[in-house]
Amino acid sequence: MLKDLFPKKKRYATVAPHPGARDKVPEGLIEKCKRCGQILLGKELEKHLKTCPHCGYHFTLTAPERIQITLDEGSFEEFDADLTPGDPLLFPDYPSRVAKAQEATGLRQGVVTGRGAICGCPVVVGVMDSRFIMGSMGSVVGEKLARAVEAAVKFGLPVVLFTVSGGARMQEGIFSLMQMAKISTALARLNESGLLYIAVLTNPTTGGVTASFAMQGDIHLAEPGATIGFAGRRIIEPLIRQKLPDEFQTAEFVLEHGMLDQVVHRKDMRTLLATILSLHPQGGETVGCGTAL
């Protein structure tokens, strides 16, 4: 064959990356977009509030990050930071899972609550953290949110809750189910007081959290692409013996089915929250929102 007379010389040699090389990239320096696969620099990602500038994918935020980008600088005052879970059922491995989550997150529990201001509007906020056993709701999450809502009633403030949760925390059994009831009773009081409650649903918000406070707001907002639903895909698919379409249980799907008011890009969330808050002047509040304090 003629081809054999002109052997193609390999111009490049393939060099396998050093096995450890991947791990040596400092944490947070680069990140790969989970949707479009683009490599993003950490700094660039931070500038876009952890959303992909190419496809708009929203990365998960930790509770401290969420507070930082949502509330006015220096306005946050935390409630009940010292509460930690008990182990009421003496469930196998539960205390060690809690300890591991505490070590990994630096938080005592899967929700951070407190008061602060958004563009000058005072609010009570609660922010869940998905790193903490899937953001699951146990007794402390319920207790902290109920106390936060009670504080809002006491101070006459609106409430903004950012949800991210796999649902109830199995390891606390019936106690975690009853947290849905507990937060609901607290929010019923907030309703009676005529105070505003905005739920912001982020990826993912499912199970018992969807079946309680995530869906009890006066206004429901969500981040684009967030998974929002009651039963998980893993439960529905075997039941109906079909693969569900990709858009099933996305924020856009839930918006279309009438359960949300708006799907809002992260970069616009703070401004929108401030606008909504300013349209709900609360009792005792004299300073208009949007004005610098």
Partner 1 sequence: MAVELPFEKPLIELRLKIEELKQFTEEKGIDMSVEVATLEAKAKALAESIYRDLTPWQKVQIARHPERPTTLDYIRGMCDDFVELHGDRSFREDAAIVGGIARFDGYPITVVGTQKGRDTKENIFRNFGMAHPEGYRKALRLMKQAEKFGRPVLTFIDTAGAYPGTGAEERGQGEAIARNLIEMAALRVPIVCIVTGEGGSGGALGLGIGDRLLMLEHAYYSVIAPESAAALLWKDASQGQRAANAMSITAQDLFRFGIVDEVLPEPFGGAHRDPAAMIRTVKTAVSGALASLRERPSVDLSTSRYDKYRSMGVVMGGATHSRLVDTAVGDEGTNGAELEPEVQDSRH
Binding residues for partner 1, per CB under 8 A?
A: 80, 82-92, 108, 138-140, 142-143, 146, 168, 170, 172-182, 184-189, 191-192, 207-208, 210-216, 229-231, 235-236, 239-240, 244, 248-249, 257-259
Min separation Cβ 251 and partner 1, Å: 13
Within 214-265, where are the H helices?
Answer: 233-240, 251-256
Min separation Cβ 275 and partner 1, Å: 24
Min separation Cβ 201 and partner 1, Å: 10
Token pair recorded at residue 205: 């918000």
The residues, ordered by sequence, that sit 6+ positions from 72 with a Cβ below 8 Å of its Cβ are 116, 117, 118, 119, 120
DSSP letter, residue 285? -
Min separation Cβ 187 and partner 1, Å: 6
> Please, which residue, 82 or 103, has the CB nearer to partner 1?
82
Q: Which residues of 130-144 are buried (b: 16+ CB within 10 A; e: fewer)?
A: bbbbbbbbbbbbbbb
> Please, which residue, 56 or 253, has the CB nearer to partner 1?
253
> Please, which residue, 233 or 280, has the CB nearer to partner 1?
233
> Please, which residue, 177 or 277, has the CB nearer to partner 1?
177
Min separation Cβ 244 and partner 1, Å: 7
Question: In the 3-class helix/strand/coil scheme, how is 168-186 assigned residue by residue?
Answer: ECHHHHHHHHHHHHHHHHH
Q: Single out the residue of 222, 142, 136 nearest to residue 187, CA to CA.
A: 142
> Please, which residue, 27 or 82, has the CB nearer to partner 1?
82
Cα–Cα separations (whole angstroms), residue 115 to 72, 77, 82, 100, 184: 11, 5, 16, 28, 20
Q: Single out the residue of 247, 196, 201, 248 nearest to residue 221, CA to CA.
A: 201
Min separation Cβ 164 and partner 1, Å: 15
> Please, which residue, 27 or 192, has the CB nearer to partner 1?
192
Beta bridge partners of 40: 31
